[in-house]
Structure 1
Amino acid sequence: MRMKTIGVTAAAVAATSLAGGAASGREVDSQWYVRLRKPSYQPPRQAFPIVWPLLYGDIALVAADTIDRLADGSHDDTARRFCAALALNLGLNASWSWVFFNRHRLGLAALTAGVLTASSVDLTRRAVAVRQRRAAPLAAYPAWCAFATVLSTHIWWINRH
């Protein structure tokens, strides 16, 4: 894996994390969030700062490995499409926190989570097509996003007015 590529993908996921964190940081303690009804399967607050860095690291590593393999094989168009899919995915990822925590739009957050899940499945599919088993760990990302979609939808449903 090239240092330049991993540096770029790591910077992209770090920017995503910072953007999402800017929206959710203080809001997790806000009265609005505390008062929301949440399903019994809501993970404890401590789970999120463990799960997300692991997923972001996985995204950065698998994406860099995939991009490098495509570049080595002179698959420039496929590499560009993969990078575009990654950029779209990271944009959706960061936007969920803004929609949910900053704008308090629970229904739109559930929809955003669903689109993020579909995007994560697509990103994983693209990486696996190039790197096979080396990209398999990325499957945890769409699995977590699918769980987040169910959770977001349930939160919207039990809090709708």
Structure 2
Amino acid sequence: MTDIETTSLHSPWFSAAVAVLPVAAALLLGQWATFPNLAPWYAGLAKPVFNPPDWIFGPVWTALYALMAYAVWRILRLPETTPGRGIALALFFGQLALNALWSWFFFGWHSPIAGLLNIVPQWLLVLTTIEAFRRLDRTAAICLVPLAVWVAFASLLNFAIWRLNG
């Protein structure tokens, strides 16, 4: 590899692209499954009293995806030889894939049970990612804490919807 190629792979722009593009793809893939199924399917489901209004999901997820991109960008900027970096990135992208798949399981398949079978391991993977990030960059780990809280809440909501409609 030439010096130019090595430099470009370690540029801030390359790291930003590797951070932002997969997160944006997860967001778009999730929306692709969600939006066509909001009405009439999701609108017709019985929901628990603690179900937030529909308008809250967009702003919350936008903020969470922005925090995810920033957190993984911080980890990507660490030297490749940093112990634990590779596993931390694998955990992050694993939880991101489960995040995108949840929308397909729950909304795309019209299956709260499939969503539940995805979201519990997803939450555990988010927690594991936070711990892996904490060992490398405290700020990156803190950026994922709101995601862990929201996914925990979403797990309870998913469970309640499954119970009410099962």
What TM-score do the two structures reach when normalised by structure 2?
A: 0.88
Partner of 1:15: 25
AA at the equivalent of 2:135: A
Pick aligned residue for 1:50 from 59, 81, 85: 59
Pick from 17, 34, 41 the counterpart of residue 32 of structure 1: 41
Give 5+ residue unaligned stretches, structure 1. Answer: none
Aligned residues: 156
Ranges of 4+ aligned residues in structure 1 off by more than 6 Å = none
Partner secondary structure for residue 137 of structure 2: helix
- 1:99 is aligned to 105
Offset of residue 129 of structure 1: 1.4
Counterpart-to-counterpart distance in 1, 2:108 and 2:38: 10
**In the TM superposition, what is the alpha-carbon distance from 1:45 to its structure 2 partner?**
0.7
What secondary structure does 1:69 align onto? Answer: coil
**More helix per residue: 1 or 2?**
1
Identity level (%): 27
Partners of 1:67 and 1:82 within 8 A in 2: no
TM-score by length of 1: 0.90
- Superposition RMSD in Å: 1.5
5+ long unaligned stretches in structure 2: 1-10
Partner SS, residue 38 of structure 2: helix
Q: Which amino acid aligns with 2:36?
A: R
Which protein is bigger by CA-based radius of gyration?
Answer: 2
